[in-house]
Structure 1
C-alpha cells in the first residue's frame, strides 16, 4: 500500500505530460435531404479543428465513379454558376433528378494529428408526375386475354396508377373479370367481351405534384361470331376463284390455244456431188465408149 501511494502521484504527472491526440471532426446536421425539383438543396457540413485555422475543404459526389464538386477553392464545370459555399456547407441551386445521389464533405487539417475528417449527405430530388405512356390496342377478339400497360418512368417517388373507362375509375372486385395493379400500372382482362369496348386512359400520381393522365384511346371488341362469318366468306371466295381458274385452263386446252406451236424443221437444199476434174495426163486417158456422130 505504501508503494502504491508513492507511485500514484508519479503516474498522474506522467499522464499529464503526454500530449493530447489532436484531430479534426466533421459532421452534418442533416445527413438526408429531400427537396422538390427546381428548388435549392442545402447540404450541411460542420467541422472543428484543434489547431489548423484554414483547413482544406472538398466536396465529391459518388456514383459509378467519384466526381469533384468543389476542389481547390472552386467548383467544377458542371456546378459552376449554380452552387455556393458557406463555410463547408454546400448549396445547389435549381436541382434536377440528375443531382440526386450521395455527396461527401472532406476536411483536411494539416496541423492536426489526425488531419482528415469526412461526412456524407444523401440528396433525393422529388419529381412530380409526368404524362404516362399508355398501351391500348385498337381492337381485339372477344374472349381474348388482354393487358393494358401504363408507365411513368420520371416521377420520384415512383407513381401509382389508376385506369379509367369512359371517364369512370375502374375498381376490381371479386366479381369483375379484370384486375388492376396500381404499382405496376397494368389492367388485365381474363376474357374480354363486347361490354368492355370503350375509351380507356390511365392516370399517374405521387405525393409531389398533381396527377397526370394520358389521352384516352378507344378499344374495340370484335365478336367471335362475326369474325367466323368473315373467315367463311373469305374461304368461299378463295375456293370460287380457284375453281374459275381451273375451268378457264380446261377450256383453253380444249380449244388448242394452250398447245405449243411446233417449230418447222429447216430443210437443206439438195446439192449433188460435183464430178472429179479431168486428169491433165492425156497418156493415161482411155475411151470407155465410142460415140458416133
Structure 2
C-alpha cells in the first residue's frame, strides 16, 4: 500500500515537471516603465513553446481595471493566426504587435502617442493548450511641466514683503521649482525664503538691490520648462505730500463753492428787489416847485399892457386864437389825448363887433399850468 502511494506521487510529480517545462515567458526586463506623454513605449513579452503545447495559440493584452468589481479591458488580441487591434477605442490606431507573426515567440506590443490616460497595469497572457502563462507590466505616462507663469504678489515697494510665484498648470506630480537670479550677482537676496514644492520666494523687507531679472525652472522626471520675471522695487510714495495736496484741493473746492453760492444769492436778491420796484405805484410824489409870484406879476402886467393897446382888429384876432388860458381839470389829465375836448366852434366864428353890440368887454385871462402857476 505504501509502495503504491509512492509510485502515484512520482507520477504526479513527473506530470507537473512536464507541464512546467512547456510554455514559458522569457522576458526579464523591468516591470515598471515611465514615459512622457507623446512618446512611444514597447511592452516586452517573449515566450517559448514546448513540444507538448499542441493547442491553438492565443495572445491577449488587457488593461487591468483598478476596480476589482470591473472587468479588464482587452487592448489587442491574436487568435487563429489573426490580429485584432480595435478592441479598445481609446487606443484605436495607436497599439500594434511588435512582430508581424507573434506565434514565433514575440508577443510584445508598441504603444505610440502616449497619453496620461494610458497609465495603468497591462497583462500579457499567452495560451497554447495545455500551457498558459502571463506577465504584468506597470506603465506610468508622465506629463512634463507646461510653460510656467511667473508673477509677483504684494506691492513692489521698498520696505515691504514681496512674494515671487511660479506656477505650471500642467505636469505630473511630484514637480519641483527652482529660482535663480540672472542679473548682477546671480545670487538670491539674503532675506529670500525659497519653497521648492510651492514654487514661491518670499523676500522680506525688500530693498532697491532686490531689483533684477529672475528665472524659475519647473521640472519633473520627464521634462523641464522655465519662465522669467523682471522685478523693479520702487521707493515708497510721498504720503504726506499726497495728503497735503488732497487737503488743499478740498479747501479750494469749498471756497469756490462758497463764492458761487454767494453770487447766486446776491443775484437772486437783486432780481427780487427790482421786481418789487417795478410793481410799486408811487402816488405820493409831490409836484415840482415853481416861482409863482414872479411869473404871476409878469404875466398880469404884460396882459394888462397888451389889453390896453389892443384895437378892435387885434381883439378880433385874439378871439380867433385857441384858448390856452383855460385851467385844465383833473378829468382832463386823466382823459387820453384822443378824448381831449375840442374848443367850441362858435367861439372862433363869433366876430368882435357882435360881441361889442352884445355888451361884452374883452378881457385877457392869464393862462395857468398844471400846478397852478401863471404862464
The alignment's TM-score, normalised by the length of structure 1, stands at 0.63
**Do the aligned partners of residues 145 and 61 (structure 1) sit closer, same or farther apart at CA in structure 2, a change above 3 Å counting?**
farther
Structure 1 residue aligned with 2:316: none
3-state secondary structure, aligned to 2:268: coil
1:11 aligns with 2:5: yes
Which range moves more in the overlay, 42-51 or 193-202? Answer: 42-51
**Do the aligned partners of residues 247 and 122 (structure 1) sit closer, same or farther apart at CA in structure 2, a change above 3 Å counting?**
farther
8 Å CA contact retained: 1:204, 1:212: yes
**Do the aligned partners of residues 122 and 241 (structure 1) sit closer, same or farther apart at CA in structure 2, a change above 3 Å counting?**
farther
3-state secondary structure, aligned to 1:214: strand
**Do the aligned partners of residues 198 and 56 (structure 1) sit closer, same or farther apart at CA in structure 2, a change above 3 Å counting?**
closer
CA distance in 2, matches of 1:63, 1:145: 47
Q: How far off its partner does 1:32 sit? A: 1.0
1:152 aligns with 2:168: yes
**Do the aligned partners of residues 249 and 192 (structure 1) sit closer, same or farther apart at CA in structure 2, a change above 3 Å counting?**
farther
Q: How far off its partner does 1:139 sit? A: 5.3
8 Å CA contact retained: 1:171, 1:180: no
Q: Whose strand proportion is higher, 1 or 2?
A: 1
**Do the aligned partners of residues 233 and 202 (structure 1) sit closer, same or farther apart at CA in structure 2, a change above 3 Å counting?**
farther
CA distance in 1, matches of 2:121, 2:209: 55
Structure 2 residue aligned with 1:95: 114
3-state secondary structure, aligned to 2:232: strand
Structure 2 residue aligned with 1:279: none
Structure 2 residue aligned with 1:54: 57
Q: How far off its partner does 1:14 sit? A: 3.3
Structure 2 residue aligned with 1:196: 210
- Taking the TM superposition and a 5 Å limit, the aligned residue runs for 1:53-202 are 53-60=56-63, 62=65, 68-71=74-77, 73-75=84-86, 76-86=88-98, 87-99=106-118, 101-107=119-125, 109=127, 111-112=129-130, 118-125=134-141, 130-136=146-152, 140-155=156-171, 158-164=175-181, 166=183, 168-171=185-188, 176-202=190-216
CA distance in 1, matches of 2:121, 2:184: 45
CA distance in 2, matches of 1:230, 1:194: 23
Q: Deviations over 1:25-54 (max 9, x none)?
A: 768632111345544311123567885441
Q: Whose helix proportion is higher, 1 or 2?
A: 2
CA distance in 1, matches of 2:26, 2:76: 17
Q: Deviations over 1:54-99 (max 9, x none)?
A: 1341321657886543257224344333332144322113435554
Structure 2 residue aligned with 1:273: none
8 Å CA contact retained: 1:129, 1:204: yes
Q: How far off its partner does 1:148 sit? A: 1.1
Q: Which is higher, the Rg of structure 1 or of structure 2?
A: 2
Structure 1: which 5+ residue stretches go unaligned?
A: 1-6, 261-293
The alignment's TM-score, normalised by the length of structure 2, stands at 0.52
Q: State the structure with bigger RCO (CA 8 A, min sep 6), 1 or 2.
A: 1
**Do the aligned partners of residues 38 and 178 (structure 1) sit closer, same or farther apart at CA in structure 2, a change above 3 Å counting?**
same
Which range moves more in the overlay, 193-202 or 176-185? Answer: 193-202
Structure 2: which 5+ residue stretches go unaligned?
A: 79-83, 99-105, 273-375
Structure 2 residue aligned with 1:40: 40
**Do the aligned partners of residues 165 and 144 (structure 1) sit closer, same or farther apart at CA in structure 2, a change above 3 Å counting?**
farther
CA distance in 1, matches of 2:213, 2:254: 43
**Do the aligned partners of residues 198 and 144 (structure 1) sit closer, same or farther apart at CA in structure 2, a change above 3 Å counting?**
same
8 Å CA contact retained: 1:107, 1:118: yes
The aligned length equals 245
